[in-house]
Every structure is written in C-alpha cells, then in structure tokens.
Amino acid sequence: MSKVTVVGAGFVGSTVAQYVAEKDLADVVLIDIPNLEGVAQGKALDLMQAAPISGWHSRSLIGTSDYAHSKDSDIVVITAGIARKPGMTREDLLRTNAKIVKEVAEKAVKQSPNAIFIVVTNPLDVMTYLVQETTKLDSTRVIGMAGVLDSARFQAFIGMELNVSCQDVRAMVLGGHGDLMVPLPRYSSVNGIPITELISKERIEALSARTRDGGAEIVKLLGTGSAYYAPGSSVSQMVEAILLDKNRLLPCAVLPTKGEYGLKDVYIGLPAVLNRKGLDKIVELKLTDDESAMLKKSADSIKENIKLMNELLAAAV
C-alpha cells in the first residue's frame, strides 16, 4: 500500500484524506499543528470507522502532529495555511501562509525526500514555487493543484448551462489560480462537440467569468469558510494519476523548464501529464494571440507575487 501524507486537517485536508482512503489509493497520515492534534486524530478515527461501511481497505489512517509518522510517504499534500479574511491584505495572506508552508515543506521533505509534493495552499501558484525552492526537489516532483479544480468548475457550469451530464463535459483552464485564470472554450467540449457549437459567445463569456469567480462565489454563499468538496476531489484525482501511473493529462501548476508557452521561472497552470514520476511532461497547445496574452498577463502577476513573498520572507528573518 502506498502512503500519502496530508498536512492540514481542516476541511480541505480532511476531505482529501477521505477521498484518497475511499478510493483505496493509500494509507493516509493526517497532520496538523500540536494544539490541533486532537482534531487530526478525531477526523482520522472517524474516517477509519467509516471503512466498514464504505468498504475501503487502507490499513491505517493516522491523525497526528508528529512528522515522524509521515516517514517515506509517496506523496505529501500541503493544505496547511489560512484563508483570506475580511480586512486582510494580500501581503498579510502571503506573509502568513509563506511562513507556514515553508516550515511544513522543510519538515515533510526531511521525512520523505523521495516524495512527490502536491500544493493546495493559497496563493497556490506562489506557494508551489516556495515549496520547490524550499525542498530543492526537481520541479517534476512539486506540483500545484488548482487547474484541475478550475477546469472542473468550468465543466460543471457548462453541464448546468446545457442540462447535460457533467461526465460528458471536458474543459481546460490554464493560468494562475485567481482572477487572471484563462478558460479555453476552444479546447472544451461535450462528448467531443466543441462548446462553441453549442453555446453562444455571450454565454461562454459569462460561464468563463463565473469560473474565475468560482471560489469567491462559494465563500460568499457560505458566509464563513471556503470550498472543500471540489478541491479535495481535485487533489485525489491527481494522487490517483500519480500512484496508479495513469499518464493523465490534467491542468496543474507546473514549472515550464523548457520555455513552454514562452514562460520560465514561474509556476503556472498548464496541461500536464501526471504519472508515477510526478510531472512527466507539459503539453503545448496552439493558443491564439489573445489567449497567449492572457496567459502571459497571468504569469506576470504570479511573478510579482513571488517577488513580494521573497521580500516579506527576507524582512521576517
């Protein structure tokens, strides 16, 4: 049985643990900070008690604050951090989550130097860059989650618009996880039929805008907290692709080391093939001039945030 460690026992982390266990993908270690160890233990125990009902067979599901339990993990998922709260600036979020994620990455890689890291903490593209810089792992083994989530949201909205099964919908969203993400209607379809043949340009633009605001819409509806079912499911799909060596083509935050899409030195959402090696390759699509410009604008924004994060971390030393 493979081993997956999830750092952060909040709603997203515990949902990742649930989906990974229910799919019988791996034994799971759920880690949180010492004063929340009881939360991690309680959720792990609750999930173990669901096993006889759900019928999964993972040998163990541990809740803990001790990274020693994560030793020799195949995959480490980082969800630890805080969500942006009212009145909190971008700098506040970056400073707080960068400190948390850097510490998590340092502790986790010591126990599992051969693991593949999947990053979920926001701002996601920047935090993925930080994990790779901190662990010094090859960039093929540090991957950010959000493209799967953003594409799933686009798929859901397309299915709702056409009143068709979401199982028949495929969509592709590139770019950073935020307002500057780049939905690609030309590469989105319903059972092979391009959505440009099924939905008006105006409605596609509306669905694309709703996709960009997908997380914020849920935060507004919930009042407190943020999405966790779809993010947790997105992570589990990536975990499955890696552990089962599936060669799945999924949009993920990856580092284009060969100048793909004219980009470098930035983690950003691109079409990626995932297998047991982690990132196997980045697939280059033919983009229009407008799509390329949007992707570059998204990349430039991420680079600005990386620069700001580095300044904040240096100032904190």
Q: Which residue has the tokens 């604008």?
A: 297
Q: Hey, what are 62's tokens?
A: 């541990």
What are the CA-CA distances from residue 58 to residues 19, 40, 41, 242 (Å)? 12, 17, 16, 17
Task: Tell me which DSSP letter residue 261 carries.
Answer: G
177 is catalytic: yes
- The full 3-state SS of 249-295, as one line of letters, equals EEEEEECCCCCHHHCCCCCEEEEEEEECCEEEEECCCCCCHHHHHHH
Which member of 102, 177, 248, 303 is catalytic? 177
Q: How many CB atoms within 10 Å of residue 217? A: 14
Angle of helix 124-135 versus helix 90-111 axis, rounded to 10:
40
Beta strands 193-194 and 116-119, pairing class: unpaired
- Picking from 94, 98, 32, 93, the residue whose alpha carbon sits closest to that of residue 66 is 32
The backbone torsions φ and ψ at residue 167, rounded to the nearest 5 degrees and listed phi first, read -65, -25
Beta bridge partners of 29: 5, 62
Q: Which residues, 6+ apart, have CB-to-CB distance to 167 below 8 Å?
A: none
Q: Is 291 exposed, middle or buried (0-12, 13-18, 19+ CB in 10 A)?
A: buried
Taking the C-alpha atoms of residue 105 and residue 128, their distance in angstroms, rounded to an integer, is 10
* Dihedral sign computed on CA atoms, order 42, 44, 47, 51: negative
Taking the C-alpha atoms of residue 133 and residue 131, their distance in angstroms, rounded to an integer, is 5
The backbone torsions φ and ψ at residue 248, rounded to the nearest 5 degrees and listed phi first, read -75, 140
Residues labelled catalytic: 177
